[in-house]
């Protein structure tokens, strides 16, 4: 155990030092992965580096990322995303927090399409950040809601993480998908609740609310929402009618967005190329970090730290609640280094038996794990939603992390809620898949 602590400290120190000194995130991850393998294992780092980076860069599930980012670019460059906000504004004018809720709802809808949190945050963020800024909303709340709600991409089906967990632990993926729905709603409500409370306390930080419209005016104004609604129906519909897989649906989103831009006469060769190049740069930035993170993850796997940590907890013989607290703390620490899928793969098969011994349901644990992984997306230094939003907003990683912190705490509250009433997770799958 002592040796493990030294390894953790060395790696964590190197990670922080490199990041703080301005080395690019992806490069830093590669260096730390290299240190892990070269210094603490007998394996050859060079071949492992090349192969790992290669294997993770041509992952089919990842192809949805650039496509959805592209869709967002097209919508932003046409008038469509602007129209969406104009259409929604009157309907939300009574709700404290107003258009900030669009981030949360938008991410939830996007989450029903995309299986990853980076995609969700990137697509919605690309459209909403400029609009919210234009309208004078608090920057830290705009970023925070996006960072937090963007993680819902993992909890609301379809979800790459649930598939990973299901296959690693031999649990039903269909059950997990259904089980994610209510917890998803719980977390969405908690996020919205936080936004409401925040904006009631900080009235001075909200832009003035001067929309006075009759119901009919609102309705007429909502015609602007039609194109976006058509697009959403098209993308979600293509998945749930079995026309396309979730990955393929991304392409339908791109085609749909191009079609709408063309209909609204904002599609020019220039805007098409600008959008394509912009999408390429954003997705290049993200996938480069994913490649770096994959190498760090395999470095961690070779050192055996995650497994050792889980084994250590098992040895403590804790009560159910203490076990959950302990696991959550460990996952928060691991979440600083690792991206989501690696966290699940490296720990799930060790943690699950403990959980079952403590009398908890494996599906429940799956959902818990997904939420913990969601939290890791917004904790520095390695948090993908932070990276995505830094790329989108140009604000510093730590600034975004601070904006996202309240939402991190809200997710912890979400875990407490689900641990207190585990039925929230298991009720729906038991009802719908009664065998």
Partner 1 sequence: MRRFLDTLYLLSGYLAAFFLMMIAVLVVAQVAARFFGVIFESTETGGFCLAASTFLGLAHTLKRGCHIRVSLFIHKARGATRKAIELWSTGVATVVMGYVTWAATHMVYESWFYEELSPGMMAVPIWIPQLGMLLGCAIVTIAFADEFCRIACGAEAAYQEQSETALSDDDSTSARVAPQRADGIASHNRLERGRAS
Partner 2 sequence: TEWVMASGYADDNFHTRNLRALIADVEELSGGEFKIQLHSNGTLIKLDGIRRAVQSNQVQIGEIRLGVYGNEDPMYILDSIPFLANGYDRAWALKEAQMPYFEKMFARLGLMPLSFSPWTGQGFYTKNEINSLEDFKGQRARVYSKTTAKMGEMLGFETTTLPFSEIPQAFATGLIDALFTSPQTGIDIQAWDNTNHYTVVGALNTKNAVIVNQRAFNRLPDAHKQALLEAGKRASKRGWEYSEQAFKDQLQVLRDKGMKVKDAPEEVMTRLHEISKVLIEDWRVAASPEAIEVLDAYLASQ
* Nearest distance from C-beta of residue 142 to partner 2, angstroms: 32
The correct pick among 4, 27, 168, 276 for binding partner 2 (CB under 8 A) is 168
Which of the listed partners (partner 2, Na ion, partner 1, none) does 345 bind, with a CB threshold of 5 to 8 Å by partner kind?
partner 2
| Stretch near partner 2 under the rule CB under 8 A, chosen from 45-53, 64-72, 97-105, 314-322 | 45-53
CB atoms within 10 A of CB 259: 16
* Nearest distance from C-beta of residue 30 to partner 2, angstroms: 17
Name which of 258 and 338 has its Cβ closer to Na ion: 338
Task: Identify which of 227, 191, 225 has the alpha carbon closest to the alpha carbon of residue 103.
Answer: 191
Structure tokens at 386: 């932070």
Indicate the Cα dihedral angle 399, 400, 404, 406, nearest 10°.
Answer: 10
The Cα 59–Cα 135 span in angstroms is 39
Distance of CA 367 to the CA centre of its chain: 14
Structure tokens at 239: 């998945």
Indicate the Cα dihedral angle 188, 371, 403, 389, nearest 10°.
Answer: -100
Which of the listed partners (partner 1, partner 2, Na ion, none) does 207 bind, with a CB threshold of 5 to 8 Å by partner kind?
partner 1
* Nearest distance from C-beta of residue 25 to partner 1, angstroms: 6
The correct pick among 158, 278, 366, 391 for binding partner 2 (CB under 8 A) is 158
* Nearest distance from C-beta of residue 23 to Na ion, angstroms: 18
* Nearest distance from C-beta of residue 68 to partner 1, angstroms: 11
Task: Identify which of 309, 402, 316, 385 has the alpha carbon closest to the alpha carbon of residue 110.
Answer: 385
| Stretch near Na ion under the rule CB under 5 A, chosen from 268-276, 342-350, 372-380, 395-403 | 372-380
Which of the listed partners (Na ion, partner 2, partner 1, none) does 167 bind, with a CB threshold of 5 to 8 Å by partner kind?
partner 2
Task: Identify which of 283, 289, 316 has the alpha carbon closest to the alpha carbon of residue 382.
Answer: 289
| Stretch near partner 2 under the rule CB under 8 A, chosen from 85-93, 196-204, 241-249, 311-319 | 241-249
Q: Does 289 bind Na ion (CB under 5 A)?
A: no
- Judge contact between 188 and 104, C-beta under 8 A: yes
The correct pick among 18, 35, 48, 80 for binding partner 2 (CB under 8 A) is 48
The Cα 22–Cα 25 span in angstroms is 8
Q: Does 359 bind partner 2 (CB under 8 A)?
A: no
Task: Identify which of 422, 276, 401, 281 has the alpha carbon closest to the alpha carbon of residue 336.
Answer: 401
The correct pick among 301, 313, 351, 367 for binding partner 2 (CB under 8 A) is 301
Q: Does 247 bind partner 2 (CB under 8 A)?
A: yes
Binders of Na ion among residues 127 to 186 (CB under 5 A) are 153, 156, 159
Q: Does 60 bind partner 2 (CB under 8 A)?
A: yes
CA atoms within 13 Å, Cβ hemisphere of 190: 22
* Nearest distance from C-beta of residue 411 to partner 1, angstroms: 23
Residue 326, helix vs strand vs coil: helix
Helices assigned H by DSSP within 241-339: 246-263, 269-303, 305-316, 320-337
* Nearest distance from C-beta of residue 298 to partner 1, angstroms: 13
Q: Does 174 bind partner 2 (CB under 8 A)?
A: yes
* Nearest distance from C-beta of residue 49 to partner 2, angstroms: 10
Structure tokens at 274: 């600008």
- Judge contact between 372 and 335, C-beta under 8 A: yes
* Nearest distance from C-beta of residue 46 to partner 1, angstroms: 4
Binders of Na ion among residues 314 to 343 (CB under 5 A) are 335-336
Helices assigned H by DSSP within 21-79: 25-40, 45-57, 64-77
Residues found near partner 2 in the complex (CB under 8 A): 43-44, 47-48, 51, 55, 60-61, 158, 163, 166-175, 177, 239-247, 298, 301-302, 307, 345-346, 349, 433, 435
């Amino acid at each position: 155990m002592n040796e493990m602590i030294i390894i953790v400290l060395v790696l964590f120190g190197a990670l922080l030092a490199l990041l703080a000194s301005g080395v690019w995130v992806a490069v830093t991850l590669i260096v730390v992965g290299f240190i892990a393998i070269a210094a603490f294992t007998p394996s050859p780092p060079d071949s492992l580096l090349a192969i790992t980076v290669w294997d993770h860069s041509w992952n089919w599930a990842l192809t949805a990322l650039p496509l959805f980012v592209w869709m967002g670019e097209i919508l932003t460059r046409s008038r469509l995303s602007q129209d969406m906000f104009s259409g929604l504004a009157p309907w939300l004018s009574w709700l404290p927090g107003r258009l900030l809720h669009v981030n949360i709802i938008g991410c939830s809808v996007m989450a029903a399409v995309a299986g990853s949190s980076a995609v969700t945050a990137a697509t919605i963020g690309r459209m909403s950040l400029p609009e919210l800024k234009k309208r004078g909303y608090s920057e830290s709340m705009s970023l925070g809601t996006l960072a937090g709600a963007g993680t819902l991409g993992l909890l609301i089906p379809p979800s790459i993480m649930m598939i990973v967990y299901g296959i690693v632990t031999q649990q039903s993926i269909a059950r997990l998908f259904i089980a994610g729905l209510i917890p998803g709603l719980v977390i969405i409500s908690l996020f919205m609740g936080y936004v409401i409370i925040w904006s009631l306390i900080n009235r001075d930080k909200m832009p003035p609310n001067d929309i006075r419209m009759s119901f009919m005016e609102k309705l007429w104004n909502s015609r602007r929402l039609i194109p976006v609604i058509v697009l959403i129906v098209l993308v979600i519909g293509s998945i749930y009618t079995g026309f396309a897989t979730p990955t393929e649906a991304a392409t339908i989103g791109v085609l749909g967005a191009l079609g709408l831009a063309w209909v609204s006469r904002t599609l020019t060769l220039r805007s098409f190329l600008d959008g394509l190049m912009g999408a390429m740069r954003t997705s290049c930035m993200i996938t480069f970090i994913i490649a770096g993170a994959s190498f760090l993850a395999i470095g961690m796997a070779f050192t055996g730290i995650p497994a050792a940590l889980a084994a250590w907890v098992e040895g403590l013989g804790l009560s159910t609640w203490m076990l959950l607290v302990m696991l959550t703390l460990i996952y928060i620490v691991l979440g600083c280094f690792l991206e989501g899928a690696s966290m699940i793969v490296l720990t799930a098969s060790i943690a699950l038996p403990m959980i079952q011994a403590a009398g908890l349901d494996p599906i429940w644990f799956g959902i818990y794990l997904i939420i913990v992984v969601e939290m890791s997306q917004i904790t520095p230094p390695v948090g993908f939603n932070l990276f995505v939003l830094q790329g989108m907003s140009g604000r510093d990683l730590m600034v975004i992390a601070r904006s996202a912190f309240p939402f991190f705490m809200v997710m912890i509250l979400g875990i407490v809620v689900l641990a207190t009433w585990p039925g929230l997770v298991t009720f729906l799958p038991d009802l719908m898949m009664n065998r």
